[in-house]
Structure 1
Amino acid sequence: MQLAITYALLALIATAANIGVQDILVRSYTGPFQILLSVIAGTGVGLLLKYVLDKRFIFRFRARDVGHDGRTFIVYTGTGLATTLVFWAFEFGFDYMFDTREMRYLGAVIGLAIGYAVKFRLDRQYTFHPD
């Protein structure tokens, strides 16, 4: 139970970072592809932050060297592709349906919550399993 609570708290931190970066970009850049660029940037920040948090606090992972850490991050990113599509589908879907920033972010939060629940299982099985 403690692991689930810790994972949920770390997911909230990564979600806040993702949405925060998106909001900063939307407020500071009003050019072409504003929303798409903000979502990509938020996703990148969330991915990096969540990797660091997961490997340290959830899976207690210690890479043998930089190469091992890099390969693990690639697998981590790979397990995140499908979950990212879920997150983006919710965020862009809510943006399309409701056309407000608040509802787009709500869609993002819902999509991230679903994605993180699935991602935990994928990472436990494929990313951070013992060699």
Structure 2
Amino acid sequence: MSFSRLVLRYTAFAVLATLVNLATQRGILAFGTGPALFAAALIAGTGTGLVTKYWLDKHWIFFDRDRGLAAHSRQFTLYTVMGLATTAIFWGLETAFWLAWQSDAMREAGGVLGLAIGYVVKYNLDRRFVFTGARHVPAHAG
């Protein structure tokens, strides 16, 4: 796969996972407002986005063929660990935008910005540490 096709596919999957994340958050925040619901929305949205992105990355970005519970458990654990730092970027920007503007639109803008930055970092971590036996497109390919 060419580098440009990889970028297009990875971007499309990041957008899809972002939409899953934000839709989950909206579903929870439809029940009301407040710090507890906000935290629940962040956690649930992150979880649904994570599972969606893992499956898409494994099969359509890294073409990883590892199968079975042991392989999936190891990879999903590493994938999740690699996502902790990128989640901090996402949560930090989303929370900062919410605190600064107190608006759902700006909260989501912060979330989208945080996720975009996080996904660039995440791809490089996953390529290096999670999907080590998978086929890769070199970072410098054109």
Report 1 or 2 for greater relative contact order, CA contacts < 8 Å, sequence distance ≥ 6. Answer: 2
Within the candidate set 80, 91, 94, 1:91 is matched to: 94
Find the counterpart in structure 1 of residue 12 from structure 2. 9
TM-score by length of 1: 0.96
Find the counterpart in structure 1 of residue 139 from structure 2. none
**Counterparts of residues 1-131 of structure 1 (less than 5 Å):** 1-30=4-33, 33-130=36-133
When residues 115 and 32 of structure 1 are mapped into structure 2, their CA distance, relative to the original with a 3 A threshold, is closer
CA RMSD of aligned residues (A): 1.3
Q: Deviations over 1:40-95 (max 9, x none)?
A: 10000000000001001100112242111111000000100000000000000000
Would you say how many aligned residue pairs link Structure 1 and Structure 2?
Answer: 131
Q: Which runs of 4+ in 1 moved over 4 A?
A: 29-32
| Larger mean Cα displacement after TM superposition, 29-38 or 119-128 | 29-38
More helix by share: 1
Query: Would you say the 8 A contact 2:90–2:113 is kept in 1?
Result: yes
Give, in angstroms, the shift of residue 32 of structure 1. 5.5
Task: Provide the C-alpha distance between the structure 1 equivalents of 2:32 and 2:99, rounded to a whole number of angstroms.
Answer: 20
Query: Would you say the 8 A contact 2:64–2:133 is kept in 1?
Result: no
- Unmatched runs of 5 consecutive residues or more in structure 2: 135-142
TM-score by length of 2: 0.88
Q: How high is the sequence identity, in percent, across the aligned residues? A: 42
When residues 31 and 100 of structure 1 are mapped into structure 2, their CA distance, relative to the original with a 3 A threshold, is closer
Task: Provide the C-alpha distance between the structure 1 equivalents of 2:107 and 2:35, rounded to a whole number of angstroms.
Answer: 18
SS in 2 for 1:51: helix
SS in 2 for 1:60: coil
